Amino acid sequence: MRVVDAAGAPLAGASVTLLANTYPYGREHHRETQVTDAAGEVLFSSRREWRAETLFIHGAQVFVWRLCIAKPGYATYLNLPEPGSDFNADATIALQPGATTPCPSRAENS
């Protein structure tokens, strides 16, 4: 993933937080934060896990990856994808100048 400013220049030192939630429960399963390098890039290693799951009337859990990017002087970027939507790990995200707010805490994200 690459983080740039509004003009397309790489942003070093941006905090990129990747959150894995499940639906229909909305519970946070994983949170990892990395900091962008001089090229504005961050790399998360892939994770795989075997799971045993009991199916109930509502069906199976669906994982949704959320992304929060924060850097002082720029408006915090937070994506809120719908369950079942694709996550683009090779995306370039442009931060706009503005007020920085903290990424949601684990309690706010659940």
pLDDT, average across residues 28-54: 80
What residues contact residue 73 under an 8 Å CB cut-off, 6+ apart? 97, 100
Model confidence at 87, in pLDDT bands (50, 70, 90)?
Answer: low
CB 74 within 8 A of CB 11: yes
Q: Quickly state the pLDDT bin for 97 (edges 50, 70, 90).
A: very high
Taking residues 41-49, report their average pLDDT: 76
Residue 18's pLDDT band (boundaries 50, 70, 90)? Answer: confident
Global pTM value: 0.75
Q: Where are the domains of the chain?
A: 2-44+53-101
CATH number for the domain formed by residue range(s) 2-44+53-101: 2.60.40.1120
Q: Which residue has the higher pLDDT, 88 or 14?
A: 14
Asked if 42 contacts 35 with a C-beta cutoff of 8 angstroms, the reply is: yes
Closest CA to 106 of 51, 1, 7, 33: 33
Query: What pLDDT, on a 0 to 100 scale, did the predictor assign at position 1?
Result: 84
Average pLDDT of span 79-101 = 77
Q: Which residue has the higher pLDDT, 19 or 87?
A: 19
